[in-house]
Chain A
Amino acid sequence: MIEVSVVDDDRMLLDGIAAWFSSVEDVVLRARARSVDELFETGSPLAEVVVLDLLLADGSDPVHNVRRLVDAGARVLVVSVVPHGEQGIDVVSAGACGYLTKDHDLAVLADAVRRAAAGDNVHSPELAFAWCRTDRPDRPHLSGQERAVLLAYASGLTLSAAARHAGIRPGTAKAYLDRVKDKYTRAGRPTYTKLDLADRVREDGLR
């Protein structure tokens, strides 16, 4: 059974998602809160997966929210009402395992939760689109095939169809998506101090 906590500032949506997950056999809702602070204030251990609304009414920084939850040992899945590509990149670079919009149906969300719980990356067309279309100066270099797979997947193609579009095998396409996420995560790691820099060098050396 996968335990999930949901953080969203809309009470109606919290109620709806609770009703939603009650119909999924292998997922149980452990806690719901309207902010990350409120979730921590409950004092109970965090669920293994936290579904976090990107923009909360308390005005908290989405990246900071993700880091707090990840540091506390949770796998974080970020959701938003409309696609916010750049912020989606930021939260995934900060450690969230995926970012998707709320317009997906229950089956997609439940599958995302299962992947997150299994420690897998959660890919979504909206995040793939943001990755391949961003023009931020610190974006990592992507190979031609990585970009082709990203754009194909962002366009709504299944992983198999995206792989065929790029002329590769489905398993390789998934590996490409994981590699792009890894590149962005590495590009998004903070290096505020020399110790951070040394950590990054050590991490890269261990890979």
Chain B
Amino acid sequence: MRIAWRALIGETLVGRDPTYQVTRSGEERALRFIALLLILQRASYLVPTVIETGIANATYNSQLTNAVLLAVAVAWNVGLAVGVHRWGWFPRWTVGADVTLMCVLLAVSSVNHLSNEVFHNVNWASKLVWATAALVGAAVAPRWIPLVLLAPATAHLGMALVRFDAIPLSLDRLLNLLDSYFWWALIAYFMRRYLCAQGRALDQTTQRQLELNARRAAEQARFAERIAQYRTLHDTVLTTLTAIARGGLNHRTVEVRRRCATEADYVRRLIQQDASGTFNTLDARLSEVITAAESLGLRVHYLHDPLPADLPRGAVDGIADASREALNNVLTHSGTTEAWLTATWDSEVLLVRVVDRGRGFDENSVVLGFGIRSSIVERMHEAGGEATLSAMVHNGVCVDLVWPSAQISS
């Protein structure tokens, strides 16, 4: 019982942890709370009975039989408490088992009782059946409650009839007995209905608040991104156009045209990003990587699917850094100043491909350098993905970054 007590109640009643189980849903917490009350109700009947049985009890024919019945009842209820702590609520089969057990306990205990006060509180089983009535009220659909409660009532009255050839109850006491079943079931039913409804309402309010917070956070991130974009536009496109508009700058020179092309690519990416509505970390990080590569003189053609917004931070970092290294390799080794970066998202698998049409190399005769092995292959491996590289002489190099790796995704 002590274990069940601690398992079920935990830190709640001692008040050391007011946030106990706060991460669970409101409905689940309501059910757990009702379960706690139902178990406590059982404890309130069983604990005094156990104590009384331990001191002295001459109301039963066989003390041993009574002790065995009590031990069974205690064991079942302790098991029920531990199980409910694990499951969160009473599974249907436990309700059926509890009703059945109560029928057996009521019948045997009534036969074992010395006096004809088998309906009186001194017969502990007749009190414990109230807890069963409450459980039925809380855990069974309303239309089945009277039918289910009929079972213990029938067992109790039936056994009295067998033993005394009559039911030793006046009509008003009989009604009182059935009345107590009914009220316990009704109280538990309304308690569950009200608390669960409150829990669901609380969940909905919390969900709305979370969505609102997420939207605000996204708007703030978007605003910060916009500010960064305005700054970049000011430092690049606006500065270039202003210089050309003022005159004196020969816009036909190779340097100015190259700068215009790079800045046009930047604006093109902004429009694509805005049109697809896919503002997310990976997209933003890849755009940063491309902008950095373009500042070094590389032109990058960027095509992409709407990319997932919820990739793990480590994966985003790994893919972005590996892409950066792949573009650096194009600058350093390809002999061209043009690259393609394509990102697709298919069946929960991300493919980022970096391609150039440069001089390439013969895969069979060239050993991959430290940069590719360490900064691309190993980095992707650490991020949970994989990287492959293919090349053809005079037909460039293709670096595929796949996340998650085939081993993980399978």
In the complex, the answer to whether B272 meets A83 with C-beta atoms within 8 Å is yes
CB distance from A127 to the nearest CB of B (A): 11
Chain B residue at smallest Cβ distance from A160:
B395
Chain A residue at smallest Cβ distance from B271:
A82
In the complex, the answer to whether B392 meets A161 with C-beta atoms within 8 Å is yes
Docked complex: B338-371 residues within 8 A CB-CB of A: 339-340, 342, 344, 353, 355-357
CB distance from A123 to the nearest CB of B (A): 14
In the complex, the answer to whether A165 meets B390 with C-beta atoms within 8 Å is yes
Q: Given B268, B272, B398, which contacts A157 in the complex, CB threshold below 8 Å?
A: B398
Interface string of B360-391 (1 = CB under 8 A from A): 00000000000000000000000000000010
Q: Given B268, B353, B396, which contacts A82 in the complex, CB threshold below 8 Å?
A: B268
Q: Give bound CA distance, A168 to B69, whole Å.
A: 81
CB distance from B72 to the nearest CB of A (A): 63
Most buried by B among A83, A154, A157: A157
In the complex, the answer to whether B301 meets A125 with C-beta atoms within 8 Å is yes
Q: Give bound CA distance, A151 to B304, whole Å.
A: 11
In the complex, the answer to whether B342 meets A154 with C-beta atoms within 8 Å is yes
Q: Give bound CA distance, A161 to B305, whole Å.
A: 22
Q: Give bound CA distance, A41 to B292, whole Å.
A: 47
Q: Give bound CA distance, A151 to B356, whole Å.
A: 15
Docked complex: B126-141 residues within 8 A CB-CB of A: none
A126 within 8 A of B: yes
Interface string of A153-165 (1 = CB under 8 A from B): 0111110110011
CB distance from B274 to the nearest CB of A (A): 10
CB distance from A155 to the nearest CB of B (A): 4
In the complex, the answer to whether A103 meets B264 with C-beta atoms within 8 Å is yes
B261 within 8 A of A: yes
In the complex, the answer to whether B392 meets A156 with C-beta atoms within 8 Å is no
Residues of chain B within 8 A (CB-CB) of A160 are 392, 395
Residues of chain B within 8 A (CB-CB) of A82 are 268, 271-272, 275
Most buried by A among B305, B339, B353: B353
Question: A129-B303, A157-B340 are known contacts; what are 12 more A-B pairs with Cβ within 8 Å?
Answer: A103-B261, A103-B268, A125-B301, A155-B340, A155-B398, A156-B339, A156-B342, A160-B395, A161-B395, A164-B390, A165-B390, A165-B398
